[in-house]
Amino acid sequence: MFGFLAVILGPLMRLVYAIIPNFALTLIVFTAIVRIVSLPLNIKQQKDMAKNAVFQPMIAEIQEKYKNNQQRQQEELMKLQQEYGFNPMSGCLPMIIDMVVLFGIIEVVYRPVQYILNIPAETIRAACEQLSISVQNTNTMQTSLIQAIHAGAAQPAALTAEQFGAIKSFNTMFFGLDMCDVAGLRLSPLMVFPLLAAVTMFLSIWLTQKLSGMSAQMQGPMKYTMWAMNAFFIYYCFTAPVGFSVYYTTSNIFMVLRSVVTYKIYSPEKYKAQYEQELAAKKAASRSKKKVEVEENGKKVTKEVSSRELDKLRLERARRLEDEKYAGGRTTPLTEEERAALAAAQKGKRARK
């Protein structure tokens, strides 16, 4: 269900594979392209995290003040967001995109014959049945088909000569290991790939949180959510074809490089100081007094009011003017007699014209 992005990622990887006819190298190059394209989003995330850090003391103050009144707490938090123009969830978009891409990659790694070699799923299933390959486990069916044909299986009737040749020449080897194999939990050279994925995952999360300032903002369960989500993908590294481990390891390495580069160029401390200055200016503006002329007891007097008080006075005046404008308007529907009389009057008026 979450691998819907495979219909887009697969053809893109097909283009890369046409230039670099090696499945593992295709995954590595494709990862580099994805990380470079998503860099502006990651920079925006770092800026948003720095901006949100400025508002954390104000948020904590509201949460403590109204801890026994959840409705009032939500109202005050919403008012804070509207007044100062920030969104506490804005930094989540890159993480959501990363997760969707990961599931899309898993789908492509499970089904490379369909998404990279562009052979229809029905044809693949029929070919597997003809070669006595189990079709019950759809996650390993296509990689098993590749391995069977690489091992010398005869061409099944379901495949054309061109399709059979494409599968036979599909290069899944990397350092002498087949990217269609599953590492599992047994000791073998394949275990290197999921272990590398796990090590680089811990390094990338730790460094990203430290350099972006995220760790200081995360409290309680939220602090471990990112770890839990990525631990879930480590599970896939052991249970999915090791091609996914290659992608995940490469992705983590690029995340480490991205964190270092963005920290040097877009330091969170720099943006935090900038947003603190902007917040202080907004607070000063809201506290500044302005002289306005108001009416009290039928007399016009000059008063000094804050921006918030001025907004309140303007709202009251707008309501008063509206009441005056519609003071003579009806608030109840016309009776049948009144409607008949009104219709007769309008008819007579038209006749006189």
- Grade residue 143 by pLDDT with cuts at 50, 70 and 90: very high
Say which residues have a Cβ less than 8 Å from residue 122's Cβ, sequence separation at least 6: none
pLDDT score for 345: 62
What does the pLDDT read at residue 152? Answer: 94
Residue 224 or 202, more confident:
202
- Residue 298, pLDDT above cutoff 70: no
d(CA 266, CA 8): 31
Question: 42 versus 326: which is more confidently predicted?
Answer: 42
Spatial distance between the Cα atoms of 138 and 125, rounded to a whole number of angstroms: 9
Distance CA 72, CA 62 (A): 9
The backbone torsions φ and ψ at residue 24, rounded to the nearest 5 degrees and listed phi first, read -65, -45
**pLDDT(73) > 90:** no
Q: What pLDDT is stored for residue 140 in this prediction? A: 87
pLDDT score, position 262: 77
Give the Cα separation of 77 and 64 in Å (integer).
12
User: For tokens 């190298």, what's the residue?
Assistant: 25
> Does pLDDT of 21 surpass 90?
yes
pLDDT band at 14 (very low <50, low <70, confident <90, very high): very high
